[in-house]
Structure 1
């Protein structure tokens, strides 16, 4: 399958809202959102963020991400990363993250890309180091049901 990426469009919102399969997956993608993800919640996040991007394959929407921080010449922080359930395990997340790194480089002239990943998100914790991210901090956060979770913060110099 040929993967491509492009800026998010309003008509993509409803499909992206279906990607998180339960409260835990939504928490990984968008900790401040309430499950189920609604078009209003996602649209508000997109309006406050930069570089909102989707990945398509054969005309089907497969993944989404953006930057919650985008400092021109500084740091871009990757957020709202999510892959459609049927597309998982097929390199789509890798393509998405690599596309976002290139966007940070070309559009924002970033010198560093950061990403944060919760301790229970094994797929993310395994993927990001493969793409050159190195952990630099672990911070405590409150998870679903007032549980303690660790947020592993990683960075990659560009």
Structure 2
């Protein structure tokens, strides 16, 4: 279960939430970290398409306002889930939203998909993400080469964490 915080809640994402969520990434790099296949700027259409092909789209609410978004881009019942589209609103950063939402997604992976492992992938330039995931117990398993939209070589750090009941 996510850590209890009177200011934080979560619920399934709705189509109405997307107008708010598309404003979370502040530049093309932030969008690339959260949704590498998307084009800058993020649009409701792009995010709606991602939601349609993914599972578990969830929003975190901070004092009742949409403050975070995440989903699963891979899910294998009884095995693992892979966290995707992890984004936090700029005004909500540094207030525990990402941690809370990741824990909520871990709970969802355990309860709905009976997942034993949660997987995350984080680009090398996303120091904040790498530090957060390792702080939450994720261990690096592989580093794979990817290409940024401008053609640069980037490293995608693949991490995972056992999910305990």
Q: 1:111 Cα shift?
A: 0.9
Aligned to 1:17: 22
Match of residue 129 from structure 2: 124
Match of 2:157 in 1: 152
Q: Which of 87, 90, 94 is 1:89 aligned to?
A: 94
Q: How far apart are residue 9 of structure 1 and its match?
A: 0.7
- CA RMSD of superposed structures (Å): 0.7
Tell me the secondary structure at the aligned position of residue 143 of structure 2: strand
Correspondences of 1:50-65 after superposition (within 5 Å): 50-65=55-70
Q: Structure 1: 5+ residue runs without aligned partners? A: none
Off by >6 Å, runs of 4+ in structure 1:
none
**Counterpart for residue 69 of structure 1:** 74
Task: Give aligned pairs, total.
Answer: 158
Whole-angstrom CA distance in 1 between matches of 2:112 and 2:69: 18
Q: Is the 8 A contact 1:24 1:144 kept in 2?
A: no
Say which SS state the counterpart of residue 150 (structure 2) adopts.
helix
- Residues 19 and 44 in structure 2, CA contact (< 8 A), matched pair in contact too: yes
In the alignment, the residues of structure 2 paired with residue 137 and residue 58 of structure 1 have an alpha-carbon distance, to the nearest angstrom, of 37
Report the CA distance between 1:144 and its aligned residue. Answer: 2.9
Q: Hey, what does 1:35 align to over in structure 2?
A: 40
Question: TM-score under structure 1 normalisation?
Answer: 0.98
Contact 1:63 1:84 in 2 (8 A): yes
CA displacement, residues 75-129 of structure 1 (integer Å, 9 cap, x when unaligned)? 1000000000011111110001011001100111001100000000011000001
Separation of aligned partners in 1, 2:77 and 2:143: 26
